[in-house]
């Protein structure tokens, strides 16, 4: 992934590197704007922060939250931790796999390692606790939290999310 | 104008509180009813969310589990004057779940608008900071020691001793770091503080700064809590404008600056040294101790690093005095514990009480038993690294020493209930799998041991429960407990061994061995 920096990547880095800001904060800002961390940002980041490219690469790939590829149109994060397990999260996860035709990646929390699901436009990610443990099971659809999710409630949420995605972006903002 | 409260806490948002607030506003407009909608924090009565409250002459009246479809009916019932409706729960402060609690740290949550400095002042905020500014740093550290406050993140180290160590260290720059990487399943008390009463955390950190000689603070919040991050960032701006942060705190000439940084999904960054590494811009790899962070912490400088609830408890200790706080609790567990009732529970939420209540009281008197209505079987206390307690242990008083005596941990106060369908062998294997996923990889017992643990538990679950496999598992757990660098590998065996010892039938072993293990 150590590609040469494109002008766009150079620009992203230049705009988000602020003196005294932790690397975490800089990477969050870039990902918030670009949707992921393009490979081209590594070299300019390393240069700006006086780090080696290996250190920046190592940092990015250590943390599950950082993406090294563009996210799917619909990202579904399902809590797989104990509290949600006690309320049927595993059965819910199976239902979600069946309903979306996608699969959760096994034995890794790392988003970058998630199997590519190019055809469905959906990606399924396991997360470990959303802090909604009194209202399990919990999940997010494109970062929006939902609690006490049953298979039937998931189907409704999925349909609504897909309908929202199908709308032109200009009207999407008016839903709230 | 009538005041209607709709919470803005994540738990309420996850059940549609934003849509609900908009619907109430639209309906009021349509009917020509003058209402002021206040987005308060959560009361912690999470099973009632979204809990809409209205102000009446008798007090605040609540309506629980309100959905957008209920809004017209609520107006028909005259809810804005406290009118009767099937969703009504009466006066919120009279609900036994809340009324019977001893809310010290969480006294304000749900009552105030979390981003109103006026509300914060009107409900006793900033008194602690004023008192602390009038004390010497030495006296402030001593006051915290006298209060008996121990770290609420899980390690239960006396907070005042930590502060005094930092104060006594000589350095050009010292730091206060708040560990808000609340990754334990079954816990949400840190999130409630940050979303429902963020000024309390800011005040606590500022007191920590002036008491230890630190002028810069960081709050490291997990990325799974974006609402908490947004609320804190907003609160910091407001606090700075109010003179509660920055140069010349309340005109005292003292300085404390504060920033928020968001984590990135790594559980082990909740371990304090891994958190510091992460904050410094490196992979969240655990550091060997010593040196302790109080002497060599962030960027090698003396650093107070405490959990959210610990720091959030500081203001009331300084406002009311160490003796006031110390009067709660028992033995060496002083003050209150914020228990979080989670998992398969009918009335999940936050229960703050003095140390000493039992699990049975919490789960059945407060929690109302399981949400599925089936018998409760195993209760995990203290997060993914805590033990599974069988019914025979549900009457032990919840305090640090009593729990340690049976090999259990209070941890961060998370209580996760499982009903009689739980497979403890599967949960034990999950504990190892979680460790394998989240291990930072620095030490071998944790990095390799967790993967070997998943494998040996798979063999046992597949029916190969010969003594050889069980001996192997116990031996592996012994290596992890005694050989790991931090609690990640060192405590993963707690849930595993407690499941094996107390629920051997789930591992295909005769139940008699449970008695042998318990004896």
Does the pLDDT of residue B4 top 60, yes or no?
yes
Residue among B49, B191, B265 whose CB faces A109 most closely: B265
Average pLDDT over residues A108-132: 72
Which of A62, A82, A106 is at the close of a domain? Answer: A62
Does the pLDDT of residue B45 top 90, yes or no?
yes
Put simply, the answer to whether A83 touches B47 (Cβ < 8 Å) is: no
Which domain, by its residues, includes A87? 74-175
Rounded Cα distance between B166 and B295, Å, is 6
Question: In terms of CATH architecture, what is B117-326?
Answer: 3-Layer(aba) Sandwich (3.40)
Rounded Cα distance between A81 and A129, Å, is 6
pLDDT given for residue A139 in this prediction: 98
Put simply, the answer to whether A127 touches B263 (Cβ < 8 Å) is: no
Question: In terms of CATH architecture, what is B2-94?
Answer: 3-Layer(aba) Sandwich (3.40)
pLDDT given for residue A173 in this prediction: 43
Cis bond before residue B290 (omega within 30° of 0): yes
pLDDT band at A2; cut points 50, 70, 90? low
ipTM: 0.95
**Residue A67: inside a domain:** no
- Nearest C-alpha in B relative to A63: B264
Put simply, the answer to whether B419 touches A143 (Cβ < 8 Å) is: no
Rounded Cα distance between B192 and B16, Å, is 18
- Nearest C-alpha in B relative to A85: B343
* Interface residue of A61, A64, A84, A129 to substitute, partner B, most B CBs within 10 Å: A129
pLDDT given for residue A4 in this prediction: 67
Average pLDDT over residues B493-498: 98
pLDDT given for residue B466 in this prediction: 81
- How many Cβ pairs closer than 8 A exist between chain A and B? 152
Does the pLDDT of residue B515 top 70, yes or no?
no
What is each CA distance from B176 to B207, B209, B288, in whole angstroms? Answer: 10, 6, 20
- Nearest C-alpha in A relative to B180: A131
What tokens does B28 get? 């009021």
B424-448, pLDDT tens digit by residue? 999 999 999 999 999 999 999 999 9
Mean pLDDT of chain B: 96
pLDDT given for residue A6 in this prediction: 85
Topology classification of domain B424-518: de novo design (two linked rop proteins) (1.20.1440)
Other beta carbons within 10 angstroms of residue B361's beta carbon come to 17
pLDDT given for residue B519 in this prediction: 38
pLDDT given for residue A137 in this prediction: 98
Rounded Cα distance between B337 and B226, Å, is 25
Q: Please, what's the largest Cα pairwise distance for chain A? A: 52
Put simply, the answer to whether B434 touches A128 (Cβ < 8 Å) is: yes
pLDDT band at B465; cut points 50, 70, 90? confident
What tokens does B106 get? 């969480």
Name the percent of chain A lying above pLDDT 90.
77
Q: Which residues of A touch B421 (CB under 8 A)?
A: none
SS3 B90: strand
Q: Which residues of A touch B223 (CB under 8 A)?
A: 28, 65
pLDDT band at A112; cut points 50, 70, 90? very low
Does the pLDDT of residue A176 top 50, yes or no?
no
A38-75, pLDDT tens digit by residue? 999 999 999 999 999 999 999 999 999 999 999 999 99
Rounded Cα distance between B404 and B14, Å, is 36
Residues A120 and A79 in one domain: yes
Is the separation of the CB atoms in B394 and B502 below 8 Å? no
Topology classification of domain B329-419: Ubiquitin-like (UB roll) (3.10.20)
* Interface residue of B20, B97, B173, B281 to substitute, partner A, most A CBs within 10 Å: B281
Q: Which residues of B touch A87 (CB under 8 A)?
A: 343-344, 371-372
pLDDT band at A119; cut points 50, 70, 90? low
Which of A36, A62, A88 is at the close of a domain? Answer: A62
Q: Which residues, 6 or more positions from B380, have their beta carbon under 8 angstroms from its beta carbon?
A: A82, B186, B343, B386, B387, B388, B389, B414, B415, B416, B418, B427, B495
Q: How far, in whole angstroms, is CA A170 from its chain's centroid?
A: 23
- Global pTM reads 0.95
Other beta carbons within 10 angstroms of residue B283's beta carbon come to 20
Is the separation of the CB atoms in A30 and A16 below 8 Å? yes
What is each CA distance from B400 to A54, B150, B152, B356, B357, in whole angstroms? Answer: 43, 10, 11, 9, 12
* Burial class, B170, CB count within 10 angstroms (exposed 0-12 / middle 13-18 / buried 19+): exposed
């Amino acid at each position: 992934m150590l590609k040469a920096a494109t002008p766009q990547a150079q620009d992203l880095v230049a705009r988000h590197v602020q003196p005294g800001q932790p690397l975490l904060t800089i990477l969050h800002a870039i990902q918030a704007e670009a949707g992921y961390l393009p490979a081209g940002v590594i070299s300019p980041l390393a240069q700006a922060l006086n780090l080696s490219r290996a250190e920046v690469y190592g940092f990015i790939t250590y943390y599950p939250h950082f993406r090294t590829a563009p996210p799917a149109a619909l990202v579904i994060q399902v809590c797989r931790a104990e509290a949600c397990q006690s309320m049927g999260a595993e059965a819910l996860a199976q239902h979600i796999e069946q309903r979306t035709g996608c699969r959760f990646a096994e034995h890794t929390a790392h988003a970058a390692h998630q199997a590519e699901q190019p055809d469905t436009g959906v990606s399924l990610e396991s997360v470990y606790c959303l802090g909604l443990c009194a209202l399990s099971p919990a999940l997010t659809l494109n970062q929006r939290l939902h609690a006490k999710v049953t298979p039937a409630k998931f189907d409704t949420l999925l349909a609504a999310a897909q309908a929202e995605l199908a709308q032109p972006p200009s009207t999407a903002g008016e839903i709230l | 104008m009538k005041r209607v409260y709709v919470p803005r806490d994540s738990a309420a948002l996850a059940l549609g509180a934003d849509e609900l607030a908009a619907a109430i506003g639209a309906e009021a407009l349509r009917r020509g009813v003058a209402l002021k909608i206040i987005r308060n924090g959560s009361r912690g009565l999470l099973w009632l969310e979204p809990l809409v409250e209205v102000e009446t002459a008798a007090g605040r009246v609540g309506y629980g589990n309100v959905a957008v479809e209920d809004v017209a009916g609520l107006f028909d019932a005259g809810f804005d004057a406290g009118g009767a409706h099937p969703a009504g729960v009466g006066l919120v402060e009279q609900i036994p779940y809340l009324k019977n609690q001893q809310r010290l740290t969480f006294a304000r949550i749900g009552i105030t608008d979390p981003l109103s400095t006026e509300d914060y002042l009107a409900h006793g905020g900033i008194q602690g900071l004023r008192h602390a500014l009038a004390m010497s740093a030495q006296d402030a550290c001593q006051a915290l020691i006298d209060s008996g406050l121990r770290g609420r993140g899980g390690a239960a180290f006396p907070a005042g001793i930590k502060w005094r160590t930092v104060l006594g260290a000589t350095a050009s720059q010292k730091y206060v770091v708040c560990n808000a990487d609340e990754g334990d399943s079954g816990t949400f008390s840190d999130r409630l503080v940050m979303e429902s009463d963020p000024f309390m955390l800011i005040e606590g950190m500022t007191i920590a700064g002036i008491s230890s000689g630190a002028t810069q603070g960081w709050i490291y919040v997990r990325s799974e809590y974006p609402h908490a991050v947004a609320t804190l960032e907003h609160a910091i701006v407001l606090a700075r404008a109010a003179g509660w942060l920055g140069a010349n705190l309340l005109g005292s000439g003292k300085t404390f600056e504060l920033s928020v940084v968001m984590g990135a999904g790594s559980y082990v960054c909740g371990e304090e040294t891994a958190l510091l590494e992460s904050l410094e811009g490196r992979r969240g790899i655990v550091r060997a101790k010593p040196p302790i962070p109080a002497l060599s912490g962030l960027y090698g400088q003396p650093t107070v690093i405490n959990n959210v609830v610990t720091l959030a408890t500081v203001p009331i200790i300084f406002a009311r005095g160490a003796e006031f706080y110390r009067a709660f609790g028992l033995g060496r567990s002083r003050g209150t514990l914020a228990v979080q009732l989670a998992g398969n529970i009918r009335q999940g939420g936050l229960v703050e009480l003095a140390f000493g209540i039992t699990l049975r009281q919490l789960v059945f008197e407060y929690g109302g038993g399981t949400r599925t209505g089936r018998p409760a079987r195993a209760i995990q206390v203290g997060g993914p690294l805590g033990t599974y307690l069988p019914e025979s242990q549900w009457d032990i008083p919840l305090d640090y020493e009593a729990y340690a005596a049976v090999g259990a941990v209070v941890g961060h106060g998370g209580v996760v209930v499982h009903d009689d369908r739980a497979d403890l062998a599967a949960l034990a294997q999950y504990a190892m799998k979680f460790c394998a996923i989240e291990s930072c990889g620095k030490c071998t017992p944790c990095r390799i041991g967790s993967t070997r643990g998943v494998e040996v538990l798979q063999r046992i679950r597949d029916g190969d429960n010969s003594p050889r496999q069980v001996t192997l598992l116990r031996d592996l757990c012994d290596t992890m407990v005694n050989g790991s660098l931090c609690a990640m590998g060192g405590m993963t065996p707690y849930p595993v061994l407690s499941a094996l010892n107390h629920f051997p039938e789930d591992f295909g072993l005769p139940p008699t061995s449970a008695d042998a293990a318990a004896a």
